[in-house]
Amino acid sequence: MAEAEQASHQLQRDAEDKAARLLGEAQTEAARLRAEVEGQAAQAQVAAELAAQRAEKSAQDRADLLYQSAVADAEKLAADARERADRIGALAVDEAQRITIAAREEADTLLAEARTAAGRSQTIVDGAKDTADQITREARGQGERAVQQAHAEARALRDAARAETERHRQRDDKLDIWSARAVIAGAVGLTASGEYELARMVGFDARVAWLLPLVIDVYVVQAFRRHRDIIQAIALTIAANVIFHLADKGLFGVEKATRDGHEPKWWLIALVASVASLILWRMHLITGPPKPLRGQGWRRGKARQEQSVTAPTPPPADPAAIANSTAKRDRQEPPTGGAKKPAKKPAPGAKKAAPAARQNTAKKRRSMDEWVTDASPIFHAEFARLRHNPTATEFATAIEKAGLGKVSDSTAKNIRAEILDRAPLPELDGTE
């Protein structure tokens, strides 16, 4: 199962790396295309502006040159006219005006052509920008599609890994269940034979002697299921089989051998005859409803019991808040033994450490109902944090951190069993 989990984590990491690599490549390609298109657009715009500037400057220069030439020609004609007299003065002025108008018309034509070239350049720049935007959108769409495909592949890999892990877990659970059933069946078969023969030895009829191993085995199963009386149940099965085999060999609890076998002593008969009644008493204790809280009134205990049965499962709470509320309740609830007398000051050097420790231990002792009420939020908080049923050691550590005192693993296990018997575990979501 550890290999499956490692493979699952490795597949998930590979999928995430692949998705990150594809996303990086898509972003890099989009940035390169965007930069290339923007560079081309900028170059085209600069070239267009330079061409427009050159055309405008050339037109202006030609216009200035023509104007200067016209002015020079006019001045020359004027000088010639003055030299020739007033006879050709009017003709020179008309020629100069005509040349000036023609130069101006040519300059206006060149300026219009320059403006047209500038417009074409702006159209080219706008087309380049549109092309760049389209390429950018296409690159972004390709990047998004690549990311989505990578996420889909990662999800598929995670789902496959989870399915594989779940199959391994179910197989291990089935193996554990059938192994436990095989061990229980073998143990019941081995111990039941000795218990049956012990019942027959002390005088039970064969028609009812099989009920002794039945009640003992049912008691053992219930003890394991509820995590209570486990030591007593195992000890009972061991004692029954050991006593039978020793008695069968004449080594314990029997009189001298007779023709029909060994004769059991009276105290062995009484002991075996009382086993069923003792088991009935213990089954009543471990399977019955919880008792009212000790140290409180009958009505208060009954109300607390009904509340614990009918109330919904409390949500996970902060262990520190539970510890503070428990400490506050301990401070507010007075002891039931009446008002205490003022304590006398101890003499100098007197040893009072041991009695104080015993008093503190007695004050912190809780019934199982109190443990269930105080430790249920801690259990659910640990279940939500660990995302699985906490072990006895983890639960005992959480109880100690919450300020409810230090408990053994077996006590924490019993408290956990009571909590699970009274309310089912909440569902865990599948978020990562």
Region of poorest pLDDT, from 41-50, 293-302, 420-429: 293-302
Residues 416 and 313 in one domain: yes
Instruction: Considering only residues 32 and 309, tell me which one the structure prediction assigns the higher pLDDT.
Output: 32
Q: What is the pLDDT of residues 100-110, one digit of tens each?
A: 898 888 888 88
Residues 219 and 118 in one domain: no
Q: Which two tokens stand for residue 369?
A: 């109902």
Q: What is the pLDDT of residues 147-179, one digit of tens each?
A: 888 888 888 888 888 888 888 888 888 888 888
pLDDT at 271: 94
Name the residue among 193, 186, 208 with its Cα closest to residue 245. 193
Q: What is the pLDDT of residues 226-265, one digit of tens each?
A: 888 999 999 999 999 999 999 888 888 888 766 667 789 9
Residues 12 and 158 in one domain: yes
Residues 234 and 303 in one domain: no
Name the residue among 222, 223, 209, 213 with its Cα closest to residue 187. 213
CA distance 213 to 194: 8
**265, part of any domain:** yes
Give the residue from 135, 163, 191 where a domain finishes: 163
Residues 125 and 55 in one domain: yes
**333, part of any domain:** no
The answer to whether the Cα torsion of 229, 232, 235, 241 is positive or negative is negative
Contact in structure between 240 and 222 (CB atoms under 8 Å): no
Residues 416 and 321 in one domain: yes
Helix (H) or strand (E) holding 262: strand 261-264
pLDDT at 248: 87
Q: What is the pLDDT of residues 344-387, one digit of tens each?
A: 455 444 444 444 444 444 445 788 889 999 999 999 999 989 98
**339, part of any domain:** no
Q: pTM score, two decimals?
A: 0.36
Beta carbons within 8 Å of 82's beta carbon, 6+ residues apart: 89
**8, part of any domain:** yes
Residues 371 and 278 in one domain: no
Residues 130 and 10 in one domain: yes
Name the residue among 303, 333, 423 with its Cα closest to residue 375. 423
Residues 28 and 7 in one domain: yes
Q: Above 50 in pLDDT, residue 340?
A: no
Q: What is the DSSP letter of 343?
A: P
Residues 15 and 150 in one domain: yes
Residues 239 and 131 in one domain: no
pLDDT at 41: 81
- CA angle, residues 238, 243, 245, in degrees to nearest 5: 100
Full domain range(s) for residue 244: 202-287
- CA angle, residues 17, 18, 23, in degrees to nearest 5: 100
Average pLDDT of the residues in 296-316: 48
Residues 211 and 269 in one domain: yes
Beta carbons within 8 Å of 306's beta carbon, 6+ residues apart: none
- Quote the number of domains for the chain: 3
Name the residue among 114, 102, 100, 98 with its Cα closest to residue 60. 114
